[in-house]
Structure formats: structure tokens, C-alpha cells
Amino acid sequence: MSIALVILAAGKGSRMNSDLPKVLHPIAQAPMLEHAMAAGRGLDPARTVVVAGHEAERVRAAVAEIDEEAQVVLQSEQLGTGHAVLQARDALRGFEGDVVVLYGDTPFVSQQTLERMIEARSRADLVILGFEAADPARYGRLVMQGETLERIVEYKDATEEERAISFCNSGLMAADAAVMFRLLEKVGNDNAAGEYYLTDLAELARAEGLAVTAVACPEEETLGINSRADLAAADAVFQTRARAELLDIGVTLMAPETVYLAFDTYIGRDTVVEPNVVFGPGVTVESGVLIRAFSHLEGCHVSRGAKVGPYARLRPGAELAEDTHIGNFVEIKNAEIGEGAKVNHLSYIGDASVGKATNIGAGTITCNYDGVMKHRTEIGARAFIGSNTMLVAPVRVGHEAMTASGAVITKDVGDGDLAIARTPQINKTGRAEKLMDMLRARKARQNKGS
């Protein structure tokens, strides 16, 4: 059966107190909308339609980055959830299959839950997703009779008996496309808000004699984001889940609560992550790696057996081969570090390639930027770069070549060559004492004048 996703992302989110559309606020460094789309993607949908409203062009741009095949339609007036889904009708014209309605600000619904909703469609015409609420508060209640959902009752309209029900409405639902849009045409707005509510579909379907049911999921999956506090809580939920998954697959987190993970972080088993490590987007760490404390990784790939940190920074484009060592206060950006190479101390390697088994001395810098353009440095295999070497790109240091400590390398160094490029030392007898006397006298005059 074909599946289409309709993801509602039109709300302003006024409680966020932000110029950014609510669904673009990040959880684990990815827009919450991306989390919702990722869950739906597990159903292998034939079509995905995102309904945008507030700051629609920004939402459209974000959707294009997440899934270039997804369509974005506009809800120019926010007239309720039923009205929002109806805006997807033209985009799904001719589609035959089930429509699953998701919410861009409800990011944690799982693929397994969505699959159970689709499975339930074999027994019912309309499937609602519910959850057992620890505190039902003002959620809409799902009134069940066996497996049949008889009605959805809003809190304000519920009797005391109905308010005692803890099975609550998440708002997510699935139905045949033709059935859903036919029912949506019947939804009215005779309510205090004057809005068209998606929840009315349950009653309309029952009135037609259609089968309506509900499936349950953990309450955590239905967590909606309406404020900065909700956003922080959602990020904490994600981090707790992600850390637990890493521990389950054989990753050692020495202080799990201090490790921050991104939406797409991948870490292989038998890797050890020390405390206070931050993973930004786009990080892949293979098995058997050691990530030492206070390191920051983003947009990089770390191969088996590598050691990173402490206090290391791997920026986008950093590619570490097997058994590399990246040490304390080292920054790597857009550079390939060859197998067994070492960059252990206080160095910056950017826009570069470093060959197999090469040693980069402390304080080495690839001077890659001339103020306008970036230039590349190439260092061969088994080279030795002396401490405090400045490599002024574009430049190449050959295989098994060496640079002297303190060298400023502006020309290529051939294979096996030793490059010495520094001004000869000159000692001026007694000049230090005279210079200090002069400086102290100048300071005294300045203090007297003030």
C-alpha cells in the first residue's frame, strides 16, 4: 500500500518568543521538523507534503535541505488542523493509498509506532494515535469501547467520568486519502475558536458507519514543543535515548550525562568517549576509537583505532585514517590525516593532506588563507614537521622530508629534503638591560603626566 505523509508545520509558536518558525528550532542540532520527517521516512512514503504558514519560505528552504522531493504547500490563514490538512489535497490529487498526518512540533514519534498505525488500518478506516498520560490535564480524551474509538472528547466538554480517562489524543492519524479528504470537507467551525479541527474526523467517520480505532504509544513519543522549556526538555529526552542506544551497542561513555550527541551521530562499538565531549552534525566514528575529554567534533570521519584529544577540535571535512593521533589543543579542518600520522600538540591543520606515519610537531600551522582565497598544503608520508613550523600554502612537503623547528616554509620541499627557513640568531650584548631601562623611564613619564 502506498503511503503519503502530511506534516503540519504552519504554526508561529508565539510562546517560543522567536523570529524563527517553531518547527525550525533545533533538537540535537537538527530542526524538530527534520526529526518528524525522519520518523515518517521509515514508512518509505511515496509522497511527503509539508504544510507551512508562518515564515513559509524559511520552512520551504529547510524542507528542501532535508528532502528535496518533499512538497511544501501554504496554509495562508491558520484556521485549525483540519483546514491545514485540507491544504494538501491538491498536492495529493490522484494519489491512491493511506495518508498519515504528523506534526512538525511532535518530533519523537517512532517508526515502530507509525508502522503499528498502518497495520491497524487493515482493521479500521480511521486510526488515531493515543497515549496513556501520567497527567491527562487538558488533553482530549479517547473514549474506547473495546478496540473501537467511539469519540474524542475535549477536556472542556468532558464529563467527570470522561475526564477520569487517561487515554489521550496525540492528534496523529491515518486513513485512506479519499476517505480523509471527503471527511475533511464535512468538518465545520462551529466552536469558540472558529477553527476546523482534525479531531472531528472521528465523529464524522462513525456517523458514516466507518470503523475507527486507536493505537497506543509511550507518552514520551507524543511530546509536543510549545516553549523554550519544552525545547530543552525535548533535547534532554533525545540525549537520554541516544546515549542509551550507544551503550547498548557497545560504546563506552565514561560520564554519559556529559556527552552531547547530534541527531545523526554514529559511533561504532568498543569506542570510548571520555567526559564532556560534544558531537556536532555529520560525525561518524568507527569502532575502537578513543575520544578524550573536552573534544568537539563536527562534520568529520574518524577511522578505527584513532585517538582524539583531549581538548581537540575536528571541524567539517576532517578525515582521520586508522591509528591516527590528534592531541591536545589541535584543530583539524578540511584535511585528511593519513594512517598512523600524529598531530599531538597545539597545531592547526586546515585545507591539507598529511601522509601516512607523518609526525607534525607542536605549534605547526598550515597558513591556508590569504585574506581572499583558501590554499592547500600537502605533506607526504613519513615526513617530520618540526615544532613551530609555518607552512604557507600552497606548498608541498615531500615524502620523508623534514622541516627545522621554527621554519617558515614558502617553497616546496622535495622528497627526503631538510628545509631550514628562519632568520639567523643575533645576540646584542647588553641591549636587554638598556631596553628595559628605557621602557621603565617611558612608563614613569606617562604615570607622572597622568
Q: Is 252 a residue whose pLDDT tops 90?
A: yes
Judgement on whether residues 340 and 386 belong to the same structural domain of the protein = yes
- In the numeric block, which cell numbers belong to residue 75? 496554509
pLDDT at 414: 97
Residue 104 belongs to domain with CATH number: 3.90.550.10
Which DSSP state fits 271?
-
pLDDT at 12: 83
Judgement on whether residues 263 and 189 belong to the same structural domain of the protein = no
Do the domain assignments include residue 236? no
Alpha-carbon distance 34 to 7, whole Å? 11
Judgement on whether residues 370 and 294 belong to the same structural domain of the protein = yes
Mean pLDDT of 60-69: 96
Which of 222, 252, 275 is at the close of a domain?
A: 222
- Residues pairing with 100 in the sheet: 5, 174
Do the domain assignments include residue 431? no
Alpha-carbon distance 135 to 127, whole Å? 23
Of the pLDDT bands very low, low, confident and very high (cuts 50, 70, 90), residue 78 is confident
List strand residue ranges (DSSP E) for 265-347, in order. 266-267, 272-273, 278-279, 284-285, 290-291, 296-297, 301-302, 307-308, 313-314, 319-320, 325-328, 331-337, 342-345
Q: Is 304 a residue whose pLDDT tops 90?
A: yes
Q: Is 151 a residue whose pLDDT tops 90?
A: no
pLDDT at 11: 87
Tell me the helix, strand and coil percentages in the chain, rounded to 5: 25, 30, 45
Do the domain assignments include residue 425? no
Q: Is 192 a residue whose pLDDT tops 80?
A: no
Percent of the chain with pLDDT over 90: 89
Judgement on whether residues 271 and 377 belong to the same structural domain of the protein = yes
- Annotated active-site residue 399? The verdict is no
Mean pLDDT of 61-77: 95
Q: Is 419 a residue whose pLDDT tops 90?
A: yes
> How many independent structural domains does the chain possess?
2
Q: What is the DSSP string of 171-209?
A: EEEEEEHHHHHHHHTT----STT----TTHHHHHHHHTT
Of the pLDDT bands very low, low, confident and very high (cuts 50, 70, 90), residue 189 is confident
Of the pLDDT bands very low, low, confident and very high (cuts 50, 70, 90), residue 391 is very high
pLDDT at 193: 75
Among the options 35, 325, 345, 375, which is catalytic?
345
- Within a 10 A sphere around the Cβ of 442, how many other Cβ atoms? 10
Q: CB within 8 A of 50, min separation 6: which ones?
A: 7, 9, 33, 37, 59, 63, 70, 71, 72, 73, 104
Alpha-carbon distance 225 to 197, whole Å? 19
- In the numeric block, which cell numbers belong to residue 314? 575536528
Mean pLDDT of 190-203: 86
Judgement on whether residues 150 and 69 belong to the same structural domain of the protein = yes
Q: Is 87 a residue whose pLDDT tops 80?
A: yes
Q: Which residue range is the domain that position 385 belongs to? A: 244-419
Judgement on whether residues 90 and 211 belong to the same structural domain of the protein = yes
On the CB side of 442, CA atoms within 13 Å amount to 6
Residue 94 or 155, more confident: 94
Mean pLDDT of 392-399: 98
Do the domain assignments include residue 239? no
Which amino acid makes up residue 431? R
pLDDT at 1: 77
Q: Is 153 a residue whose pLDDT tops 90?
A: no
Which DSSP state fits 150?
E
Judgement on whether residues 44 and 160 belong to the same structural domain of the protein = yes
Do the domain assignments include residue 61? yes
Do the domain assignments include residue 266? yes
pLDDT tens across 3-36, in order?
A: 999 999 998 888 999 999 999 999 999 999 999 9
Mean pLDDT of 119-143: 93
pLDDT at 201: 94
Mean pLDDT of 321-334: 98
Residue 368 belongs to domain with CATH number: 2.160.10.10
Mean pLDDT of 209-213: 96
117 neighbors 126 (Cβ within 8 angstroms) = no
pLDDT at 413: 97
Q: Is 423 a residue whose pLDDT tops 90?
A: no
Which amino acid makes up residue 297? L
Judgement on whether residues 211 and 80 belong to the same structural domain of the protein = yes
Do the domain assignments include residue 424? no
pLDDT at 225: 93
Mean pLDDT of 311-340: 98
pLDDT at 270: 98
Q: What is the mean pLDDT of the chain?
A: 95
pLDDT at 155: 84
Which of 157, 187, 222 is at the close of a domain?
A: 222
Judgement on whether residues 255 and 215 belong to the same structural domain of the protein = no
Residue for cell digits 501520567? Answer: 134
Judgement on whether residues 16 and 84 belong to the same structural domain of the protein = yes
Which amino acid makes up residue 109? V
Judgement on whether residues 253 and 365 belong to the same structural domain of the protein = yes
